[in-house]
Amino acid sequence: MTFNFTDSVNQYFDGAVEQLGLDPYLAHKIKVCNATYTVKFGVQLRGKLKTFVGYRAVHSDHIEPVKGGIRFAPHITVEEVEALATLMTLKCALVDIPFGGSKGGLCINNSDWTQEERERITRRFAAELIKRNLLSPSQNVPAPDMGTGPLEMAWIADQYRRTHNNDINAMACVTGKPISHGGIDGRTEATGLGVYFATMAFLRSEVVNRQDFPAPAARGLAVVIQGFGNVGSHAAKYFANDGARITAVGDHDIMVRNDAGLDVGALQAHLKSTGSIAGFVGAESFGQPADVFAVPCDILIPAAIEGAITEENVYQINTKLVVEAANGPMTPFAEMALAAKGVPVIPDLFANSGGVIVSYFEWVKNLAHMRFGQLQRRREQSLTSRLLSELERHTRTGFDDNFRDQMRDGPTERRLVESGLEDSINATFQRIVERQRAHSTTISMRTAAYMIAIASVADRYQTMGL
């Protein structure tokens, strides 16, 4: 059966609406995508005029600006972009961030073009979005997604600045930029770190099955990751740093496995230098990356593409928990099959929300024209230093130099970002758990998350008199 991402999102949406008992006309208004724009533009490349197709979907502008990434991939469709825009609306509402939902895509194979050519293509795409008010600090704020990163965001931001040189908030037109171009420290790792925080919130909660997870910690757990891009690789790093064993990683061309635990840092370096995880020393390699789903583990993290777990491979899965780092990585049928085996799923709507949370921090930073921690850092450094000195004087015990340096360092931007991200993730998880408890029937974390998000958007519409 062919996976249809739009149908999957709609099925989850309809299930949550049914549980809420929401007015069907209001539910339909929330469900449908407000507008989708298709742009077709030409760029002179290698002596020929090449035509490219791009999309920008605005799912809901009940709050502006709308927010959502731009992905570069060869086979993007309107339906895919609209479904992702829907998820963005619900994701922002779930984590209580004042953005509506949007998403963009450009049909392009990055490997076909040089960096200089990709810059020209990206700038032309940005120019098309700017002409239609689909790129603006106050109306529509893109971010990186699959196939894009800080470099593409820097090009887009610069293109906007060139056409709006009187806009003092121009840098806020896009998030996920390099720090040197108005970005925020920690944005690149944010989605992967959010996946880790979401998992830890679950493991520390009272809803977890203590037979499966006796200790509320990652130490000693076997973690398998499908997809070793920005999200998967950073999630692997944070789990490994906390003592988990990353026993297998599957990427687009191969799977590598070491039951004793992969050296994540070395694997990242190998990928950067060779462009593939193939040939990594210290691991056994397998030619079928989908085989990663059959590796026994405590936590399985699909961090690649939509529809990776289906009725064809779900029965191979041998895990205690699935954490959706990718958008829509499993079909509704696959989730029901896992539920029948008692395997909980931390849904994408929540698990991968770290990117948009820290994007919000970056947007606020750009509008404030001030880096995080700038006002209070020196004061807190002074207070901490005095406190440590007093403690040493009264206890007559000296602190370790590394400990003193860490305490005296004060609230750096990265620490504030990571602290804010963890707080947002923990607060959202509590809302999900409370929604589950308040319901008379057993509902999944996904259904609870959808219910919270849809109810939030519905309240906004009703307040607006719609």
Alpha-carbon span 455 to 30, nearest angstrom: 10
With respect to residue 398, please indicate whether it lies within any of the assigned structural domains.
no
Closest CA to 7 of 328, 262, 237, 322: 328
pLDDT of residue 395: 74
Mean pLDDT (the chain) is 91
pLDDT of residue 407: 63
Phi/psi of residue 53, each to 5°? -120, 130
Mean pLDDT of 140-165: 95
With respect to residue 176, please indicate whether it lies within any of the assigned structural domains.
yes
Phi/psi of residue 39, each to 5°? -120, 140
Residue 10 has a CB neighbour count (10 Å cut-off) of 14
pLDDT of residue 402: 73
Question: What is the domain extent for residue 291?
Answer: 210-343
Alpha-carbon span 122 to 45, nearest angstrom: 13
Closest CA to 352 of 172, 184, 230, 206: 230
Is 228 found in the same domain as 177? no
pTM: 0.90
**Pairwise pLDDT comparison (14 vs 5), residue with the higher score:** 14
Instruction: Please provide the DSSP assignment of 121-135 as one string.
Output: HHHHHHHHHHHTT-S
Alpha helix (H) residue ranges in 298-444? 332-340, 348-351, 354-368, 377-395, 401-409, 413-438
Is 330 found in the same domain as 220? yes
Last residue of a domain, one of 136, 164, 181: 181
Q: What is the domain count for the chain?
A: 2
With respect to residue 305, please indicate whether it lies within any of the assigned structural domains.
yes
Is 170 found in the same domain as 229? no
Alpha-carbon span 5 to 307, nearest angstrom: 7
| pLDDT digit string, tens, across residues 294-305 | 999 999 999 998
CA-to-CA separations, 442 to 12, 21, 51, 415, in angstroms, rounded: 15, 16, 51, 37
- Contact between residue 248 and residue 289 where contact means Cβ atoms under 8 Å apart: no
Specify the long-range contacts of residues 187-190, CB closer than 8 Å, at least 24 apart: 187/150, 187/355, 187/358, 187/359, 187/361, 187/362, 187/417, 188/149, 188/150, 188/230, 188/234, 189/234, 189/237, 189/238, 190/354, 190/355, 190/357, 190/358, 190/359, 190/417, 190/421
With respect to residue 240, please indicate whether it lies within any of the assigned structural domains.
yes
pLDDT of residue 282: 82
Burial class from Cβ neighbours inside 10 Å (0-12, 13-18, 19+) for residue 291 reads middle
With respect to residue 348, please indicate whether it lies within any of the assigned structural domains.
no
Is 309 found in the same domain as 248? yes
Tokens, residue 347: 């849904």
- Is residue 440 over pLDDT 70? no
pLDDT of residue 267: 95
pLDDT of residue 48: 96
pLDDT more than 90, % of the chain = 76
With respect to residue 202, please indicate whether it lies within any of the assigned structural domains.
no
CATH number for 86: 3.40.50.10860
Is 225 found in the same domain as 112? no
- Is residue 1 over pLDDT 60? no
Which amino acid would we find at residue 393? Answer: R
Is 103 noted as a catalytic residue in this protein? yes
What is the crossing angle of helices 24-31 and 5-20, to 10°?
A: 150
- Contact between residue 326 and residue 302 where contact means Cβ atoms under 8 Å apart: yes
- Is residue 239 over pLDDT 70? yes
Identify the H or E element spanning 281: none
Tokens, residue 96: 């209580």
The confidence band for 278, taking pLDDT boundaries of 50, 70 and 90, is confident
| pLDDT digit string, tens, across residues 87-132 | 999 999 999 999 999 999 999 999 999 999 999 999 999 999 999 9
The confidence band for 205, taking pLDDT boundaries of 50, 70 and 90, is very high
CATH number for 273: 3.40.50.720
Is 215 found in the same domain as 177? no
Mean pLDDT of 75-89: 93
| pLDDT digit string, tens, across residues 339-378 | 999 999 999 999 999 999 999 999 999 999 887 766 666 6
Considering only CA atoms, give the Rg of the chain: 23
Least-confidence region, from 36-45, 386-395, 444-453 = 386-395
Is 135 found in the same domain as 251? no
Which residue out of 31, 67, 91, 103 is catalytically annotated? 103
The confidence band for 288, taking pLDDT boundaries of 50, 70 and 90, is confident
Alpha-carbon span 410 to 232, nearest angstrom: 30
- Is residue 465 over pLDDT 70? no
CA-to-CA separations, 325 to 217, 229, 230, 453, in angstroms, rounded: 19, 11, 11, 19
pLDDT of residue 370: 83
CA-to-CA separations, 430 to 204, 335, 399, in angstroms, rounded: 11, 22, 36
Residue 28 has a CB neighbour count (10 Å cut-off) of 11
- Is residue 287 over pLDDT 80? no
